Amino acid sequence: TEATTEQDEVGRLHGDLIDLQPAVRDAVVLALPTSPLCREDCPGLCPECGAHWDDLPADHRHGGPVDPRWAALDKLTLTEE
């Protein structure tokens, strides 16, 4: 592409060989899960305290003032149909 410089090309070519390490590394890193779990049915960890969701009560929350613009969401009830 026009954004590719000669220096980029030199870094990838070594004689008649192409350096695939950066491409393979990028592919592997992108394939890794962003939130790895201990088992398939694990709900994960609380992002605030790091405790297992399984070990926490259903109403687990962390203190602190709620932004008043989001306070109305507390009144919503979610039901499965």
The b/e string for 19-43 (b: 16+ C-beta within 10 A; e otherwise) is eeeeeeeeeeeeeeeeeeeeeeeee
Contact 44, 51 (CB under 8 A): no
User: What radius of gyration, in Å, describes the C-alpha atoms of the chain?
Assistant: 24
Which amino acid makes up residue 37?
L
Give 18-36 pLDDT, tens digit per residue.
888 888 999 999 999 888 8
Within 13 Å, how many C-alpha atoms sit on residue 43's CB side? Answer: 10
What pTM was computed for the model? 0.41
pLDDT at 4 over 80: no
Give 39-61 pLDDT, tens digit per residue.
888 888 998 888 999 999 988 88
